Amino acid sequence: MNAVAIASLAAALASGAACATSILATPRRVVILALLVQFAATAVLLSAIPLALAIAYAAVGLSVAAILAVTPAPEAGLEAAGPSGVPSGLVFRTVSVLLVSLAAGALGLEVLGGAQGIAPGQALGAGLLFGLGLLHLGLSEEPLHVGAGLMAVLGGFEVGYASLEPSVALHALLIAMPVLIALVVAYLSLLTPGVPERRT
């Protein structure tokens, strides 16, 4: 196994671990930090697009984390985040994360593993991000968590799609999308009751 394959495998595992952390964690700063790691690891996986775009993706991650970090929002809002009727205990979420990680990783390797120009690490990373992102969307309705789930799903999609579609313009638009999502999440966080008033 060469160095590039090892790096992409490590990045896939890091992105999956970061995504899992953002599902399991409730403190805002942990979720935001996990997002930052997830973006950095996904940028490593995006070797099929021009290097400048991959670097831009990491910069997008930094911007997303900065936007979310400076947004005033109550910690309490993250606790009761699940949709009604969906269990949200830590044990349930941990078991779900483990099961979905196994299934999504295997599915990613099965579907994308044989595709031309995709390393096993990229296929694994795409599967993990997409699967865990969908799980995150299903487990939460709180804007920060939904935003994190959306960004994971988009990241997983982008890792797989990068090897199929050569258009730089399309990838530029796709990797800019998380910034818009972060802005909308920040806006919605400001509407949450308990947000401290801004000083004028």
- Residue 184 sits in the site that holds other proteins (CB under 8 A): yes
- Residue 191 sits in the site that holds other proteins (CB under 8 A): yes
C-beta separation of 153 from 177 below 8 A: no
| Residue-wise burial string across 54-67, b where 16 or more C-beta atoms lie within 10 A, e elsewhere | bebbbebbebbbeb
> Residues in contact with other proteins, total (CB under 8 A)?
32
- Residue 40 sits in the site that holds other proteins (CB under 8 A): no
Closest to other proteins by CB, 7 or 138: 138
109 exposed, middle or buried (CB, 10 Å; 0-12, 13-18, 19+)?
A: middle
Distance CA(174)–CA(188), nearest Å, equals: 22
- Residue 63 sits in the site that holds other proteins (CB under 8 A): no
- Residue 143 sits in the site that holds other proteins (CB under 8 A): yes
- Residue 51 sits in the site that holds other proteins (CB under 8 A): no
Structure tokens at 158: 């982008």
Structure tokens at 173: 């638009």
Binding-site member from 12, 129, 185, 186 for other proteins (CB under 8 A): 185
Neighbouring CB atoms inside 10 A of 131's CB total 26
- Residue 129 sits in the site that holds other proteins (CB under 8 A): no
Closest to other proteins by CB, 17 or 148: 148
H or E element at residue 137: helix 120-139
- Residue 126 sits in the site that holds other proteins (CB under 8 A): no
Site for other proteins in 158-177 (CB under 8 A): 161, 164-165, 167-170, 172-174, 177
Closest to other proteins by CB, 88 or 167: 167
- Residue 153 sits in the site that holds other proteins (CB under 8 A): yes
DSSP string, 154-179: HHHHHHHHTTT---HHHHHHHHHHHH
Query: Could you give the angle at the alpha carbon of 19 between the alpha carbons of 16 and 24, nearest 5°?
Result: 120
Closest to other proteins by CB, 12 or 186: 186
Residues that bind other proteins (CB under 8 A): 83, 137, 141, 143, 146-147, 149-150, 153-154, 157, 161, 164-165, 167-170, 172-174, 177, 180-181, 184-185, 187-188, 190-193
